[in-house]
């Protein structure tokens, strides 16, 4: 069904443009947000929800990983289960990282997040099963990578000296925002993928899609590692 | 969950293709645009390296060149980055009794700094400090007590590069970074 394919491609390009037109993407927060965070004092619940949602919705590293995760999840119960594992993972480390003041290098953590995309693309092609002889648990992988994604989110907030006044409430607000942003992004992804699965092209393009995921993940790894070595 | 299993040959082909595409995009586009590193010169031809100059992480040298051309303006915004564990000095040429008002801030990280002046032609290493502290932002003004170079020394003791936004106005000529 070439018509469906066209619509899907248009949707993907639209999403891509939406992502690239917003400043301060996968690494860091844009200047307006920066000014806000620096001048912030006390509890700012709604603004922090917004920052969290915006970061997740425009953070293509998180989105790519989620695309990989739900690529082969046909049932909504599975989608819910896997996304919950991911949410559990990144909530734990986001809160722990900021509240416990855990210092992780943002470039290294973002490189690991890039690697999680490569891992998922490779796994989706049955690569790990072939390489290791048996399929490593996909649920555990999502949970573990979720923990790393959470540290990545934490480093974004740690770039600023957040006032300790109202920090816990602000952090919880940020986390709620992250989940909202993830939910919005997922709505798009799940609809697009479910729609695409109905067409024959899904099977035909499975290999290519996951190859592209791997490739995009490798680019993220390269981008972040070079940032690490050059900074 | 029904993982998609492809033949070993397809798997190999996919992995190699993913790596090759990633490498090409990385070397030709990402490195030039993000870090101004352009081994193939393709980034320069496409104008991508210009992006790196406006980046937060652009090298101080590149920014200084631009800044020197726009000396003596009503108000000037200068951005410098202090590399992790290093100190930088940013200076202005000012004659005696010339005035400058200034404001600078980091992204929240406090930095040790020394606002000082060195007399023109002095070879003894003498300098006079106007302010020494560890702060993440400061604003103020000063009148040059002698003809010479005046400006800031910032020391970054953290493991992350720290960006500083410096806004100056008054009578001065930008000398720029001294390392």
Q: How far apart are CA B158 and CA B7, in angstroms?
A: 50
Chain-chain contact of B19 with A218 (C-beta, under 8 angstroms): yes
Same domain for B156 and B173, yes or no, is yes
Nearest to A159 among B1, B30, B107 (CB): B107
Q: How far apart are CA A130 and CA A111, in angstroms?
A: 25
Q: Is B95 on the interface with A (CB under 8 A)?
A: no
Same domain for B104 and B159, yes or no, is yes
**Residue A59 near residue A188, CB atoms below 8 Å:** no
Same domain for B42 and B127, yes or no, is no
Count the alpha carbons within 13 Å of A83 in the hemisphere toward its beta carbon: 24
Q: Given this model, what pLDDT does residue A23 score?
A: 39
Chain-chain contact of B1 with A28 (C-beta, under 8 angstroms): no
Least confident of A183-187, A192-196, A200-204, B169-173: A200-204
Same domain for B99 and B48, yes or no, is no
In total, how many domains does chain A have? 1
Residues of B in contact with A122 (CB under 8 A): 15
Residues of A in contact with B2 (CB under 8 A): 72, 74
CA triple A176-A182-A188, angle to 5 deg: 145
Q: What is the mean pLDDT of residues A183-199?
A: 88
Chain-chain contact of A72 with B31 (C-beta, under 8 angstroms): no
Distance from CA of A226 to the nearest CA of B (A): 8
Other C-beta atoms closer than 10 Å to the C-beta of A44 total: 19
Other C-beta atoms closer than 10 Å to the C-beta of A61 total: 23
Please check whether residue B17 lies inside any domain of the structure: yes
Which residue segment(s) compose the domain that B172 sits in?
60-178
Q: Given this model, what pLDDT does residue B65 score?
A: 45
Phi, psi of B160 (to 5 degrees): -120, 145
Same domain for B72 and B156, yes or no, is yes
Chain-chain contact of A219 with B18 (C-beta, under 8 angstroms): no
Q: What is the mean pLDDT of residues B69-92?
A: 78
Query: For B26-155, where are the alpha helices, taking DSSP H only?
Result: 31-35, 42-45, 49-53, 60-69
Counting other chains too, the contacts that B109-112 makes at CB distance below 8 Å and 24 or more residues apart are B109/A161, B109/B136, B109/B156, B109/B158, B109/B160, B109/B162, B110/B134, B110/B135, B110/B136, B111/B82, B111/B135, B111/B136, B111/B154, B111/B155, B111/B156, B111/B162, B111/B164, B112/B154, B112/B155, B112/B157
Query: For A71-200, where are the alpha helices, taking DSSP H only?
Result: 76-99, 106-124, 127-132, 138-158, 167-197
Q: Given this model, what pLDDT does residue A188 score?
A: 87
Q: How far apart are CA A71 and CA A83, in angstroms?
A: 12
Which residue segment(s) compose the domain that A131 sits in?
2-230
A212 has pLDDT over 90: yes
Distance from CA of A213 to the nearest CA of B (A): 8
Listed residue (A105, A86, A110, A93) closest to A27, CA to CA: A110
In total, how many domains does chain B have? 2
A201 has pLDDT over 80: yes
User: pLDDT for B41-60, tens place per residue?
Assistant: 888 888 888 777 655 444 44
Same domain for B32 and B75, yes or no, is no
User: pLDDT for A1-21, tens place per residue?
Assistant: 445 555 555 655 555 444 444
Please check whether residue B3 lies inside any domain of the structure: no
Chain-chain contact of A125 with B5 (C-beta, under 8 angstroms): yes
Residues of B in contact with A80 (CB under 8 A): none
Mean pLDDT rounded to a whole number for chain A = 83
Least confident of A33-47, A109-123, B97-111, B133-147: A33-47
Q: Which residue has the higher pLDDT, B52 or B11?
A: B11
User: pLDDT for B103-142, tens place per residue?
Assistant: 999 988 889 999 999 888 887 878 888 888 888 888 888 8
Q: Which of B5, B13, B14, B37 to mutate to probe the A interface, most A CBs <10 Å?
A: B14
Please check whether residue B132 lies inside any domain of the structure: yes
Please check whether residue B71 lies inside any domain of the structure: yes
Q: Which residue has the higher pLDDT, A7 or B177?
A: B177
Strands laid side by side in the B76-82 sheet: B76-82, B162-170, B99-106, B137-143
Same domain for B69 and B115, yes or no, is yes
Q: How far apart are CA A66 and CA A73, in angstroms?
A: 11
Q: Kindly give the pairing relationship between strand B87-94 and strand B128-135.
A: unpaired
Residue B83 DSSP label: P
Same domain for B81 and B23, yes or no, is no
Q: How far apart are CA A173 and CA A45, in angstroms?
A: 5
pTM metric for this prediction: 0.61
Distance from CA of B109 to the nearest CA of A (A): 7
Please check whether residue B2 lies inside any domain of the structure: no
Nearest to B161 among A135, A215, A231 (CB): A231
Q: Which residue has the higher pLDDT, B171 or A159?
A: B171
Same domain for B65 and B47, yes or no, is no
Residues of A in contact with B167 (CB under 8 A): none
CATH classification at residue B95: 2.60.120.680
Q: Is B127 on the interface with A (CB under 8 A)?
A: no
Residues of B in contact with A230 (CB under 8 A): 35, 37, 57
Same domain for B15 and B84, yes or no, is no
Same domain for B171 and B85, yes or no, is yes
Listed residue (B175, B106, B167, B163) closest to B141, CA to CA: B167
Chain-chain contact of A159 with B108 (C-beta, under 8 angstroms): yes
Residues of B in contact with A130 (CB under 8 A): 5, 8, 11
Residues of A in contact with B109 (CB under 8 A): 161
């Amino acid at each position: 069904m070439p018509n469906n394919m066209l619509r899907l491609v248009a949707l993907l390009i639209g999403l891509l443009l939406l992502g690239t037109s917003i400043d301060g993407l996968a690494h860091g927060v844009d200047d307006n947000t920066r000014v806000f965070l620096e001048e912030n004092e006390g509890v700012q619940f709604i603004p922090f929800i917004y920052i969290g949602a915006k970061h997740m919705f425009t953070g293509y590293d998180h989105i790519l990983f989620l695309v990989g995760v739900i690529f082969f999840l046909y049932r909504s119960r599975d989608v819910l289960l896997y996304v919950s594992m991911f949410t559990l993972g990144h909530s734990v480390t986001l809160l722990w990282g900021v509240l416990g003041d855990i210092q992780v290098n943002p470039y290294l953590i973002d490189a690991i997040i890039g690697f999680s995309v490569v891992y998922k693309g490779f796994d989706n092609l049955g690569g790990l099963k072939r390489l290791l002889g048996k399929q490593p648990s996909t649920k555990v992988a999502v949970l573990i990578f979720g923990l790393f994604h959470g540290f990545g989110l934490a480093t974004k907030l740690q770039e600023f000296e957040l006032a300790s006044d109202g920090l816990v409430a602000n952090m919880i607000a940020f986390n709620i925002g992250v989940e909202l942003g993830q939910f919005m992004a997922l709505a798009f992804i799940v609809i697009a993928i479910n729609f695409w699965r109905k067409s024959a092209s899904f099977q035909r393009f499975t290999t290519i899609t996951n190859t592209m995921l791997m490739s995009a993940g490798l680019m993220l790894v390269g981008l972040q590692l070079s940032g690490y070595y050059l900074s | 969950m029904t993982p998609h299993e492809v033949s070993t040959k397809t798997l190999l082909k996919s992995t190699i293709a993913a790596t090759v595409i990633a490498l090409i995009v990385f070397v030709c586009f990402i490195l030039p645009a993000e870090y101004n590193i352009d081994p193939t010169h393709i980034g320069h031809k496409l104008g991508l390296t210009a992006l790196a100059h406006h980046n937060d992480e652009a090298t101080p040298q590149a920014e200084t060149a631009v800044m020197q051309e726009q000396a003596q303006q009503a108000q000037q915004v200068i951005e410098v980055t202090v590399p992790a564990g290093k100190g930088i000095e940013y200076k202005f040429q000012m004659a005696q009794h010339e005035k400058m008002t200034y404001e600078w801030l980091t992204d929240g990280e406090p930095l040790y700094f020394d606002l000082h002046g060195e007399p023109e032609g002095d070879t003894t290493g003498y300098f006079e400090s106007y302010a020494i502290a560890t702060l993440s932002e400061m604003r103020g003004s000063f009148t040059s007590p002698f003809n010479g170079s005046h400006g800031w020394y910032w020391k970054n003791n953290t493991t992350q590069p720290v960006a500083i936004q410096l806004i100056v106005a008054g009578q001065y000529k930008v000398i720029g970074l001294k390392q």
